[in-house]
Copies of this chain bind each other. A is one copy, B any other.
Amino acid sequence: MSLKTTSTDRARPGDSRMRVGAKDVARLAGVSTATVSRVMNSPEQVDPDTRRRVTEAAARLRYVPHGAARSLRSHRSKMIGAVIPSFDYALYARTTSALQQRLDERGYSLVLAEHHYDLGAELRVAGQLMEHGVDALVFVGLDHDPNLFGLLDDYGRPYVLTWGVDPYRRHPSVGFDNHAATYEMTRHLLALGHTRFGLLSAPVDGNDRARARGAGMRAALAEAGLQLDESRVAYAPISLAAAQAGMERLLALPSPPTALVATNDVFAVGAMMACRQAGVRIPQDISITGVDNTDLGATQTPGLTSIRTPIIEIGVAAADQLIARLEGREHQDFQSFPIEIIHRGSTGKPAAG
């Protein structure tokens, strides 16, 4: 049995463990609870003098409204749910940070869940967020368990997909063109004269971003009459060590690539490490490119050529869209932000011969 002070002690003076409720504020201010509620939710409807009395009483008692009761009655929780692959990954962390800041400015809180690239887990945690009564939901990517959309439909509240724009316009989404990112990058490498390409990618299953990025590269190659040799493709979960291991395999090939496209900066830096250890010079022996333009890549020697993606913009736009929808204001269901190659020292012409 617990030795904790029990709630029966609350009768004792000075040990008032009772929660302060609207009723207490109402009594102190000499009004009804309805008026207290109005002061909290639509102050303009209340006489300034009454309002002041209530505000003071609330402050004096340190009244904190009971969110659950409010949600139950009003069907609004002032919470937004977000399900992301992992925020032990700089990108999603930054987007999520932007999202949270924007929500906070508008008086919303963020309930966050990860799924670690398991779409079944994503479905499960999305259900938990609905259980908590979030007013709207944010997801990453376009690939999801088919049941997710049924669940969302039942739930009947706004949601938005991020980091990609649904080409079929079935689901509101904000992001950028993942396909174009690697397409442009590959064009850049082709222009430098490369013909032997390698690809370091995240597993594409359930990951539309990785899939689109791989496709973008292949499209650019096809336009140049080239085809990606599948033996020069390595898949790895997003971690430096895994990327490094994948790159070691590519370097050990009889004729390794002279240009490596990594689908994100973490992979690119892992590849750089493998090159350093193997004595392969960048960019003299191999050019390496990333996507997302993170600090990790920018601070390498040489600096990593990468694609700047709208990491912050996505978070802000997602927040703005959802809040606009919740408040019945105008909004855009689909938004695609521009991207841009950032040239640094990790790319160059292939070695002659």
Q: Which residues of A contact B (CB under 8 A)?
A: 2, 17, 20, 62, 64-69, 71-72, 77-79, 86-90, 93-94, 96-98, 100-101, 104, 109-114, 125, 127-133, 150-151, 154-156, 240, 266, 269, 272-273, 276, 295-296, 298-301, 328
Contact = CB atoms under 8 A, between A and B. Distances in A.
Contacts of A133: 66-68
B299 A273 contact: yes
A301 B328 contact: no
Q: How many copies does the complex hold?
A: 2
Interface of A, helix, strand, loop or mixed by DSSP: helix
Contacts of A114: 97, 100-101, 104
A130 B109 CA distance: 11
Contacts of A156: 17
Residue of A2, A62, A69, A132 ringed by the most chain B CB atoms within 10 A: A132
Contacts of A127: 64
A100 B72 contact: no
Given A64-B130, A296-B296, 9 more contacts: A20-B154, A64-B154, A64-B155, A88-B93, A88-B98, A100-B112, A110-B111, A110-B113, A276-B301
Contacts of A266: 295
A101 B115 CA distance: 9
B299 A77 contact: no
18 contacts: A2-B328, A62-B154, A64-B155, A68-B132, A77-B132, A87-B97, A87-B100, A88-B94, A89-B93, A93-B93, A101-B114, A104-B125, A109-B128, A109-B132, A111-B111, A272-B299, A299-B300, A300-B300
Contacts of A154: 20, 62, 64
Contacts of A299: 240, 269, 272-273, 296, 300
Contacts of A296: 295-296, 299
B100 A131 contact: no
Contacts of A155: 64
B79 A111 contact: yes
A97 B101 contact: no
